[in-house]
Amino acid sequence: MSCQEHKLYHRSNKGSGAVLNIRIAHDQDTLRKIADERRIPVGELLALNPHILLPNQRIAGYPVYFYLRRLV
């Protein structure tokens, strides 16, 4: 299953980089499912996505924002 993801590069004040991804959710996606797939804490996804209220609600068509840390 392929999904639409876009990457934006973000640099913090300390110079460490993180990549902000934007994923458009599919039919059966929930925030919890994406968190499990990406190994990201659900609380972190909820904080980055205030437009999604519950981690188990279906979110087809919604943008989902999440950070991937670069390994240095």
Structural domains counted in the chain: 1
Domain that holds residue 10: 5-69
Per residue in 9-44, pLDDT (tens digit) is: 444 433 456 788 899 999 999 999 999 999 999 999
pLDDT of 68: 79
pLDDT of 13: 39
What pTM was computed for the model?
0.73
Comparing CA positions, the residue from 4, 69, 13, 6 lying closest to residue 38 is: 69
Number of C-beta neighbours around residue 59 at 10 A: 24
Average pLDDT over residues 44-61: 96
CATH number at residue 18: 3.10.350.10
pLDDT of 6: 55
